[in-house]
Chains A and B, each alone.
Chain A
């Protein structure tokens, strides 16, 4: 009971310190917020407008009895409404006229469908070339049109390969059979569906924007949370040294309260403070940045692991110090180095499975980071559990060493 009183007193003191609050909540959220705004700007700036390219189409295709006029279907695809924002297609009768228009900058691109375009589909050996002429002074527009044209022609290449393969397998095919095969293929490609083109334009969906944020901002938030949770653990454990120097610890020892109870109270206060910090950060990150922390069971295990490792690490670090004057230097160095090593994968984008990916596991922060990142990727509990057990073991060692040293010190 007295342990809890000591812990609550320390918790109250921690939450009254502007310095502690800044490090517990302010800095992790501000830093993550900066990244969020950076990626948020990319997200909201998707209204890049590119002027539609003027395309002149010369459809010379004479058709074939087996296929009909496939050139017309290409023309229809290019003139689909969905492509209107990137190309304005008009038809002319001759190649020369089309070239002239490109030369006169009246059109950015000229596409010439040759007369034997459809005929080439019947002859397995036949080759056909679709002409593409572009204004060399334009760069992006013609490239986009060329990409779209490639997409469409790939479909026709598929048709041609299918027909050639069918003829090869059957020895020969009549016009009706070839026509049926082509129509079947096109139907397979949903070519006949009303309002659907061969190429579909898609804007980046909100889902993929969220994926971008999740993949970029969420690990940073996790890293910040882990780094500052360890800082909080060390800073709160440092209150033992502060109280020793301020005389309040000695005064506690003069009360009818056992040393073990006092030490237990200090340990609970460290754990409680880190727990409150982590829970608030997780909720705040969810509400402010929409960060998905992954399955609840894995998240709870990761949080417990984080609280235990951060608290016990702080207790051990403080037990090694003589006074609070040393704590600034030691915490600054120790927490920064282990924190950076522990989260090196987050900030370098290094895959956890790579050879360097195991470097963080030499620090307690690395185990927590791995568990949290796995969980955010939706890992099953079976993948988090071994990491949790490792964190538990690390914490037990840190805790026992730290408490032993403190007991020896105040005996």
Chain B
């Protein structure tokens, strides 16, 4: 299958007093027609990566032999306008003109993507229907609800029927209903043959949507593959979350020393452990707790998931990283 995106060796350091390496050697490929997610906690470098893939930021070593961004065979670094014509970008925050109507916004952005005449009119009409705002097309965007704005925000990126769509955490801060609608929309885009690059820090979204997932942390991709491939990284390990009736530090060191415990972290008032075989490890945990006169008040055993993978790879929980 042909590649929609071929990203090689991206680096980006921000210098504002001190140097912050936001992206450090990121490489990945995305096949045409698949949904590829960049999953990682806030600050992992997802938005910086997508900014470089959109042409908003130039990679530090861009243009060198090993560093390149190919979009549908066009190099973004050497031929930016041709490469940009292939992509539609849905920014994390709503980027629309609130004092213009939805119709005016879509018409303007359509022109910016090079549409004109009847094609422009037809595409604006089609997108308004797609996002369900035909009836409200002549209302100013400023009067829309948050969910409606999100829909127009996505609609703008679809105007020119791009081959590749970037969606940068599009569900942040919205209600569950709008979130569901967006996720269904992403799947529908894939069904129409579009390639989607999706960034999120919600594990469930990445699991549900993605054909392949790259897990990012501290500016690097620490794992990349299908959901099953990533799960296999943790082997037979199980994630166990326990709560106890006293302060967690009384038992942490004892549990860390138990056979079969590979990771332990304190998450709020819970202790989350990554263990080899829960059937064998759990009795040891209870025994160690009893010796310290600590009572376990709840146990939650989870089959391996992306959260477990992240915990396994980084020793930290995805949500707290």
Contact = CB atoms under 8 A, between A and B. Distances in A.
B293 interface: no
Contacts of A9: 97, 100, 104, 108
Contact of B109 (A13, A246, A255): A255
A177 interface: no
A2 B91 contact: no
Contacts of B220: none
Contacts of A250: 56, 91, 95
A236 to B, nearest CB: 14
B112 to A, nearest CB: 4
Contact of B95 (A13, A16, A248): A248
Contacts of A247: 91, 93-95
Contacts of A44: none
A254 B56 contact: yes
A16 B104 CA distance: 13
B100 A12 contact: yes
How big is the A interface, by class? 10 to 19
B54 A254 contact: yes
Contacts of A254: 54-56, 84, 87, 89
Contacts of B91: 247, 250-251
A184 interface: no
Contact of B113 (A248, A253, A256, A258): A256
Nearest to A247: B95
A166 interface: no
A256 B56 contact: no
A247 B89 CA distance: 12
Nearest to A16: B99
A17 interface: yes
Given A247-B93, A253-B56, A255-B84, A5 B100 contact: no
A247 B109 CA distance: 14
A257 interface: yes
A340 interface: no
A252 interface: yes
Contacts of B112: 2, 5, 252, 255-257
Nearest to B116: A1
A254 B85 CA distance: 9
Contact of B55 (A2, A248, A253): A253
A248 B56 contact: no
A29 to B, nearest CB: 24
Contacts of B222: none
Contact of B81 (A5, A17, A251, A256): A256
Among B85, B89, B111: residue with most chain A CB under 10 A: B111
Contacts of B54: 253-254
B252 to A, nearest CB: 44
Interface string A1-36: 010010001001100110000000000000000000
Contacts of B111: 2, 5
Interface in A231-269: 246-248, 250-258
Interface string B73-105: 000000001101101010101111101100010
B95 A256 contact: no
A253 B80 CA distance: 10
B99 A251 contact: no
A248 B97 contact: yes
A117 to B, nearest CB: 85
Among A13, A16, A17, A248: residue with most chain B CB under 10 A: A248
Interface string A42-75: 0000000000000000000000000000000000
A253 to B, nearest CB: 6
Contacts of B156: 251
A51 to B, nearest CB: 64
B173 to A, nearest CB: 14
A252 B97 CA distance: 12
B117 interface: no
Given A9-B108, A247-B95, A248-B97, A256 B85 contact: yes
Contacts of A12: 100, 104
Interface in A193-249: 246-248
Contacts of A17: 99
A252 B89 CA distance: 10
Contacts of A257: 81, 112
A251 B89 CA distance: 8
Nearest to B51: A250
A252 B82 CA distance: 15
B56 A258 contact: no
23 contacts: A2-B112, A5-B108, A9-B108, A13-B99, A13-B100, A17-B99, A247-B91, A247-B93, A247-B94, A248-B95, A250-B91, A251-B89, A251-B95, A253-B54, A253-B56, A254-B55, A254-B87, A255-B109, A256-B81, A256-B82, A256-B85, A256-B112, A256-B114
Interface of A: 2, 5, 9, 12-13, 16-17, 246-248, 250-258
Interface of B: 54-56, 81-82, 84-85, 87, 89, 91, 93-97, 99-100, 104, 108-109, 111-114, 156
The 5 A-B residue pairs with the shortest CB-CB distance, nearest first, are A247-B95, A256-B85, A251-B95, A255-B112, A254-B89
